[in-house]
Structure 1
Amino acid sequence: MKRPTSLRVRLLALTLVPLMLVAVALGAWRYTVAQSTAEEIFDRSLLATALAISRDVTVSGGDALTPATRDLLNDASGGEVFYHVTGPDGVYVTGYAYPPRPENAADAPILFGQGRYRGEEVRILQLVERTTLGNLTGDSRITVWQRTAEREAFARAQALRSLRTMGALLAVLAVLLWFGVARGLRPLTNLEAAIALRSPDDLTPIRRPVPPEVAGIVATLNQLIGQMRDSIAAHQAFISDAAHQLRNPATATLSLAQTARDAADPDERGRRLDALVEAARRSVRLTEQLLSLEKLRYATPETETPEIDLVSVIEEVCALEGAAALEAGLDFELFVEARALQVRMDSVHAGEAVKNLIDNARRHGGPDLRSIRVELARERTTAIVRIVDDGIGLSPDRADTALKRFGQIGPSSGSGLGLSIAEAIAKRYGGRLVIETAVKGTSISIQLPLSGTVPDDHCPSCP
């Protein structure tokens, strides 16, 4: 797995990279501005040089330039300046013999343009003035030019100077950010140290003050700690209850085994062995229920939950439970209104839920219990498994007590886990367990969402 980038490095990159892009953009802008400034300054220098040459030519009659003007030619802004002067009659007067011509040549008193001189790019100025040389009066043309390389070097120097300044500022900023981020993250490192000092048994909420930016993380962590605390408490309560419930059957089984061993009469020994077998059966059933209840805490991912036909699963369960009910002298009936009920759930859980409800009816129906009826129906998008008996009855207002783990409405041979297991299974698969109002006896239904629409001619309430 790729190692995640340090938070400090991320913050540094997120801050400095945009600033570097801005610095590059500012450098380009500064280069453009420097070029424009150089053009303006150097063009003014060319104009001043041309005016000085025009003055000297007029004064001396074209014979010589003053020392000041010659110094200006050599030391003008942007480097050496070249010149060419023609008189009123267009005859060469002084300067370099072959001047470049601007690309945009035109008749104008002052004309700036670009051209080439001796293979180099040059900036050209043509100045046309009316002068008198000797006995001639007319327009004299002064052409001055200068290499553009000096101008570009000036612009680059200005841009580089700005970039160096911004680079130094960015370097200082990077150092400040590096140590500033470390100081800003100190509350997180302190929080890490505080958590590391905790013992595994300390599940109290974290109350250390933290910045608002990480308060949500701490709140989520406290919520997770609370859930872990509740889960551990639930496990401890379950283990305590299970130990308490298993102690009585284990004690009874041991007592029955001892009395069966000590019984001298064969008939008495047989009765006690039968009672021992029944006690062992109840212990096994209680253990199975406890294991089923605990397994429901660890849910299977929804993508791995199979789709089953609830009708076929319930028919198999009723075939076994019905035989036990008939052996106990009870009428047992399975009534199927729907031909198929496709639901997403584990078939073992489905059978366990119905088995617990049938067993609950047998154990809590009382002496007047005569029949148990299992109904399978569909109402729109819901599959319904209903167990109805004609025993002493359980009203909906006593449902809370009946649905509690190990909850008992009255004395019975049950463990008090049947209804709670059935309810947990129903909730696990998005359904619910409902204790319904009945004229006589008890009516309890498990209602589960269908995984698809199943056409059924025998279901009058189906769409």
Structure 2
Amino acid sequence: MVLAGAAVILGLAAWQYSSVAAQQAYDRLLSGATIQIAENVYVQGGVAALDPPVAAIATLSAYDMVFYKVVDPRGIVVAGYGELASTATESAARSGVVLEDGVYQGQIVRIATMARQIGYPAQAGMGNDRGRPDQGRVVGPRARTDKALTVIAVMSALALLAASFAIGLALKPLTKIESEIANRRADDLSPIHAEPPFEIRSLVFAIDGFMQRLADRMNLMQRFIANASHQIRTPLAALDAQVELLSTTKSPQRRAEYLARIRDRTAQLARLTNQLLDHAMVIHRADAAQAAPVGLNELARSVLASAVPLSMSREVDIAFEPADPAPVVMGNAISIREALGNLIHNALVHGARSRLTIAIGQNGDSAWIEVRDDGAVFDPTIAEQLIAPFAKGESSSGSGLGLSIADQVARAHGGSLSFARCDGLTIVRLSIRGGAA
């Protein structure tokens, strides 16, 4: 609107300036032709006569019809159109060309009048030319330039004022958004309610999306902290009870029994603490860590070597089946390592009786790692329950975080954690989809 208004005003100013310039140029032609006609008036036999200047009249007739009239001192028309009349006074006409608008034969005309003194037998005189061609050539362009600069300066000032007003009016809703955010509580991450201007609507939507993600992350961490504090209290209370019993008993057999229980409780607490830290790390790295190429064969081999203890209470056959060619996926090696380590630990502690197999495979743009064991019969229908944080099976004494960590890692890599039972084996598959490199 500002630019359109300025364009209209500038157009009107340009039209007015062009009209004035054209009128001035036309008047100069008309004045020049009038002077030439006056200079071509002469006295012959005591009578004024005219030798019409053909060039001057031809120049004017190229634009319009030309009418002229020559009157002697007696008021007699000696040449031209007698009906052509002018309202200029003789004294004004003696001073120079007088320009005026008039009507001739029902048409609007521009009239130039000039009086010139000529020599009769009874008097002598000479024409009086009061024009200043050199001064007009300098002053005329300077005056037009001053007018143009004045128009430009005025329009620039108006445009600045209008633009300042328009910008202030358009950005006024930002003050409402600023006030709403400034007056919020620290825990209020709800979307902005103030209606944003169209120009910054995408920015406000992006801020709302960021606050929603931040709220989700905060809620996730709050739930994790609440669950972790609840889970840690139980083994700490049991450990405190065992220490209290140990301090009061005097029987060597009882003391040995209580020490064994304290040792088990301490190991469980250490395992729970490590898994809680792993769980927090997986939650953080799901969005913060950058993906990098990960070779699944090498990673699974190293995790298997470090996760299987050298001494176990039972004989377990360990097998590793790498894929050929070796799959390489885009992901976070630390998170995948933790997920696989938890799956192997669960299989050794709660599943495998005598057989554990780690298999790697690839299918198109997805890759997978399978942990197979010959443990007790597993019902795949309860998988959704077991992957929830701190969920435990009926015979499990673990922390309930192993499968949850593996499931979160799989989801963060575009895959899933699935369960199956085949040929007497429980199969847990960690798949990574859309990330094969």
Same fold (TM over 0.5): yes
Secondary structure of 2:283 counterpart: coil
Per-residue CA distance 1:129-176 (angstroms, 9 max, x = gap): xxxxxxxxxxxxxxxx97375266445534533542453344245335
Secondary structure of 1:374 counterpart: strand
CA drift of 1:398 comes to 2.3
1:433 to 398, 408, 417: 417
Q: Is the 8 A contact 2:365 2:433 kept in 1?
A: yes
Question: Given the superposition, is the C-alpha separation of residues 198 and 266 from structure 1 closer, same or farther in structure 2, using an over 3 Å criterion?
Answer: same
Q: Distance in 2 between matches of 1:197 and 1:450?
A: 44
Q: Distance in 1 between matches of 2:228 and 2:43?
A: 121
Q: Is the 8 A contact 2:335 2:409 kept in 1?
A: yes
1:400 match: 384
Q: Is the 8 A contact 1:31 1:156 kept in 2?
A: no
Question: Given the superposition, is the C-alpha separation of residues 15 and 324 from structure 1 closer, same or farther in structure 2, using an over 3 Å criterion?
Answer: farther
Q: Distance in 2 between matches of 1:199 and 1:221?
A: 17
Output the TM-score relative to the length of structure 1: 0.67
Secondary structure of 1:376 counterpart: strand
2:342 to 350, 356, 359: 356
1:387 match: 371
CA drift of 1:325 comes to 7.8
2:228 match: 242
Q: Distance in 2 between matches of 1:380 and 1:276?
A: 50
Q: Is the 8 A contact 2:180 2:192 kept in 1?
A: no
CA drift of 1:388 comes to 0.9
2:57 match: none
**Correspondences of 1:80-229 after superposition (within 5 Å):** 147=133, 150=136, 153-154=139-140, 156-158=142-144, 160-161=146-147, 163-165=149-151, 167-229=153-215
Q: Which runs of 5+ in 1 are unaligned?
A: 1-13, 86-93, 97-144, 454-463
Q: Distance in 2 between matches of 1:432 and 1:38?
A: 87
Is 1:291 matched with 2:277?
yes
Greater CA drift, 382-391 or 292-301: 292-301
CA drift of 1:42 comes to 0.6
Question: What is the letter of the counterpart of residue 348 of structure 2?
Answer: R
Q: Distance in 2 between matches of 1:232 and 1:452?
A: 31
Question: What is the letter of the counterpart of residue 75 of structure 1?
Answer: G
Per-residue CA distance 1:318-348 (angstroms, 9 max, x = gap): 2233336843443332222336333344443
Q: Distance in 2 between matches of 1:66 and 1:154?
A: 34
Q: Which runs of 5+ in 2 are unaligned?
A: 51-70, 74-88, 100-113, 119-125
1:417 to 381, 401, 411: 401
Per-residue CA distance 1:400-447 (angstroms, 9 max, x = gap): 212211123424111111111112222333443222353434211122
Is 1:376 matched with 2:360?
yes
Q: Is the 8 A contact 1:426 1:432 kept in 2?
A: yes
Q: Is the 8 A contact 2:361 2:367 kept in 1?
A: yes
Per-residue CA distance 1:4-55 (angstroms, 9 max, x = gap): xxxxxxxxxx968x969x95x9988877765544332211111122223334
Greater CA drift, 355-364 or 413-422: 355-364
Q: Is the 8 A contact 2:414 2:433 kept in 1?
A: yes
1:446 to 430, 434, 437: 430
Question: What is the letter of the counterpart of residue 33 of structure 2?
Answer: L
1:90 match: none
Greater CA drift, 251-260 or 234-243: 251-260
Secondary structure of 1:333 counterpart: strand
Per-residue CA distance 1:338-385 (angstroms, 9 max, x = gap): 3633334444333211110112223443xx843222112233443321
Q: Is the 8 A contact 1:307 1:451 kept in 2?
A: no
Q: Distance in 2 between matches of 1:303 and 1:73?
A: 97
Q: Distance in 2 between matches of 1:255 and 1:57?
A: 145
Question: What is the letter of the counterpart of residue 350 of structure 1?
Answer: I
Q: Is the 8 A contact 1:357 1:422 kept in 2?
A: yes
Secondary structure of 2:367 counterpart: strand
Q: Is the 8 A contact 1:335 1:376 kept in 2?
A: yes
Q: Is the 8 A contact 1:354 1:422 kept in 2?
A: yes
Greater CA drift, 351-360 or 432-441: 432-441
Question: Given the superposition, is the C-alpha separation of residues 298 and 73 from structure 1 closer, same or farther in structure 2, using an over 3 Å criterion?
Answer: farther
Q: Is the 8 A contact 1:372 1:389 kept in 2?
A: yes
- Between 1 and 2, higher relative CO (CA 8 Å, sep ≥ 6) is seen in 1
1:128 match: none
Q: Is the 8 A contact 2:286 2:409 kept in 1?
A: no
Q: Is the 8 A contact 1:42 1:77 kept in 2?
A: no
Per-residue CA distance 1:256-284 (angstroms, 9 max, x = gap): 33334444343443343233222211111
1:332 to 318, 325, 328: 318
Question: Given the superposition, is the C-alpha separation of residues 266 and 400 from structure 1 closer, same or farther in structure 2, using an over 3 Å criterion?
Answer: same
1:75 match: 96
Output the TM-score relative to the length of structure 2: 0.71
Q: Is the 8 A contact 1:310 1:350 kept in 2?
A: no
Q: Percent identity?
A: 24
2:64 match: none
Q: Distance in 2 between matches of 1:216 and 1:307?
A: 34
Q: Distance in 2 between matches of 1:224 and 1:60?
A: 98
Q: Distance in 2 between matches of 1:77 and 1:386?
A: 109
Q: Is the 8 A contact 1:426 1:448 kept in 2?
A: yes
